[in-house]
Each structure stands twice: as structure tokens, then as C-alpha cells.
Amino acid sequence: MKELKSNKANGLILSLLLAGMIGTVFVTSVNAQGSVNPSTAGLWHLNEVLPDGHREITPDATGQNPGILVHAPDAPALVEGKFDKALSFDGNNGVYVPIRFLVGFPPSPQPIYIPISTSLDIPKEIKIEAWINLHGFKNVTYGNIVTKCTRYDASWENVTRVYGIAVKAGIPENGYAVPRGALSGYVFTDTGGFNEIVTTETVVPLNEWIHVAFTRDPATGMHLYVNEYEKDVKAIYGVLNPTGSIINGTEVYFGHDSQVIIDEVQISNLLPEAQTLSAQIDIGPNILVAVIVVAVVFAVAWLLRRAIQVWMIRSKS
């Protein structure tokens, strides 16, 4: 009987330790998420590349939106950055952040999407910022720093730009002579369509670190900043202050079509309480982990309760 009691006691202690360990992991996870500003939808330091199965990723400090390195044919390279390391893009490769998975089968009249992590769907007031060091101009309309898009089928042709910030190579657009080295920012809204602003002069030099930012405020419109100074802009598509909510998207890219080193990318939802319903109910990887952890905690609690009951019965006998 003493041996039985000892085994039950050891089991009880083990259960308590296990519950404590799981609780600690869960609290640590919550605290890590809480250390990021609540308005931050994504923050990529771009200072490390980690293996993740058959792919490589660069972490998001919020834990929600890891970036997947795109090899085309080579992946972005880790180099010296503005702060620690950064990623260097050659004009072909990039970093891909999935928001929704487009289902291609079975065919349907409307696209079918499976949410992955929709925190980057920001409907109203957004800020996009990054440190960049441009080392060349690719002959494209958009030298993307950050771009969110939405696709309606598997082709690249059927893609809509949703929001982003880019560098211009001096290619005329929509009847405007856009300066080489101008900065661009844009949003696509549900009532205003596509709207883009560009700086009226060259603001992005070569081989020099600068901080760039784009904001959209429903009250004051769209704005561009370099090293925290607002720049004069003009609308080349749409208007300076479009109405409506920014539409949802399927993915975000960094560095696509840009010859640039990028560091410290941050996307902020300045009105997080106005987040879309789909984002509120998103079952992303971290939420799924939390659900699993909670389920395990409850299971351990149930086993612990049963162990105590058995121990008490055995003790009385």
C-alpha cells in the first residue's frame, strides 16, 4: 500500500509539474505577443533567415506573419543593414507573406479563400515604413519595397495592388512625367478604386540609407515621408484622399522588382479596433497553437483531478 501511495504521489507531483510547465509556456507566449505595440500588424527585422521545412523564412516580431524567402533563382541575401543585418534583393527575388490561400479546385463562380493570417488586412488607417538602401533602378513601373495584392486566379495577370510603397524608375505613368527616384504610395478602396501618389521630385538617392513611410488617414488622405519629413506629392491615379475601406488581399511582398537592401519593415493598423470581422475571427498559426495549448491544459487539469480523486480513495483504504 505504501508503494502504491508513493507511485500515486509521484504521479501527482509529475502532473503538477507538467501543468506548471505548460502554463509557463502559454503565459510566455502571450507575454511575447503583448510586448509588440498593439497597432503593429507586422514587424520584420529582416536580420535572420531560419529553416522551416522545405523553405526558409524571416520572422515577424508579432509572431503572426513570417515571411517566406522567394528564390528567383537565388534567395535574398543577408547583408549588413541599418540595424544589425538586413536582406538584399536583386530585382527578381523577394519575401512572400501569405494572407489567404486561393483554392483552385473545385471550380466556382467566385474565388474561394482560406484565411491564413489576416492581420495585414487593414481597412482604414495604415502606416507602412522601412529603412532602404537603393543600389539600382530596374526598368519597371514599381520598384516594390512593400506591396500587398489580391489575386483572383492562379495567373499573375489577374492581380490587384491593394496597398504599398515603392520607388519609381522614371517611367511616365497615366500621362505624368514621374521623376526617377520618386517615392510612391497607394491604396485600393471598395468605393474609390485604385489611388496612387508620388513625390514631385527625386527623394530616394542611390547607396544611402533612408527611412521611408507611407500613411493613409481617412480624414487627411495619403502622405509620404522620407527620414520623417513629409514630401510634396501629387495623385497620378485617383485622388489624394480616397473614400471607403481598403480591400482585403491574399499576400504581401517585400523587395519584388527592386534592387535594394531593406531593413526594419513595419506595417501598422492605426485603428486596430476597426479591424475587419474576418481578421477578428482569423484562425492563424498562433491562434491555433493557443487553442491547442489551452486544450492540453484542460486535459492535464482533468487528469490531475482524476489523479487526486484516486489518490484520496487509495489513502482512505
- The domain that holds 118 is classified in CATH as 2.60.120.200
CA–CA gap between residue 155 and residue 197 (Å, rounded)? 27
Residue 133 lies in a domain: yes
Looking at residue 114, what is its pLDDT? 82
Residue 267 lies in a domain: yes
Looking at residue 159, what is its pLDDT? 86
Number of structural domains found in the chain: 1
* Average pLDDT score, the chain: 81
Average pLDDT over residues 213-225: 97
| pLDDT tens-digit series, residues 7-24 | 443 343 333 333 333 333
CA–CA gap between residue 208 and residue 280 (Å, rounded)? 40
Domain interval for residue 133: 39-282
- Comparing 6 with 115, which gets the higher pLDDT? 115
Lowest mean pLDDT among 132-146, 220-234, 242-256, 288-302: 288-302
Split at pLDDT 50, 70, 90, the class of 3 is: very low
Residue 31 lies in a domain: no
Give the pTM: 0.75
The secondary element (H helix, E strand) that includes residue 274 is none
Split at pLDDT 50, 70, 90, the class of 166 is: very high
Split at pLDDT 50, 70, 90, the class of 307 is: low
Write b or e for each residue in 171-189: b if 16 or more Cβ atoms lie within 10 A of its Cβ, otherwise e.
Answer: eeeeeeebbebbbbbbbbb
Looking at residue 124, what is its pLDDT? 95
Pairing of strands 77-80, 251-254: unpaired
Looking at residue 317, what is its pLDDT? 53
Looking at residue 102, what is its pLDDT? 81
Residue 81 lies in a domain: yes
Q: Is 3 exposed, middle or buried, given 0-12, 13-18 or 19+ CB atoms closer than 10 A?
A: exposed
Residue 303 lies in a domain: no
| pLDDT tens-digit series, residues 23-57 | 333 333 333 344 678 899 999 999 999 999 899 99
CA–CA gap between residue 264 and residue 266 (Å, rounded)? 6
pLDDT above 70 covers a percentage of the chain that reads 72
DSSP-based three-state secondary structure for 284: coil
- Quick one: which of 219, 185, 178 has its CA closest to 202? 178
Average pLDDT over residues 140-154: 91
44 has which bridge partners? 265
Residue 314 lies in a domain: no
Asked whether 255 and 87 are in contact (CB, 8 A), the reply is yes
DSSP string, 60-91: -TTSS-PEEEEPSSSPPEEEE-SSSEEEEEES
Looking at residue 23, what is its pLDDT? 37
Looking at residue 45, what is its pLDDT? 97
- Quick one: which of 257, 276, 251, 256 has its CA closest to 113? 251
pLDDT above 90 covers a percentage of the chain that reads 64
Average pLDDT over residues 207-235: 97
Residue 187 lies in a domain: yes
Looking at residue 228, what is its pLDDT? 96
- Comparing 142 with 116, which gets the higher pLDDT? 142
Split at pLDDT 50, 70, 90, the class of 304 is: low
Split at pLDDT 50, 70, 90, the class of 281 is: very low
Residue 123 lies in a domain: yes
DSSP-based three-state secondary structure for 124: coil
Average pLDDT over residues 139-144: 96
| pLDDT tens-digit series, residues 80-132 | 999 999 999 999 999 999 999 887 666 667 777 888 888 999 999 999 999 99
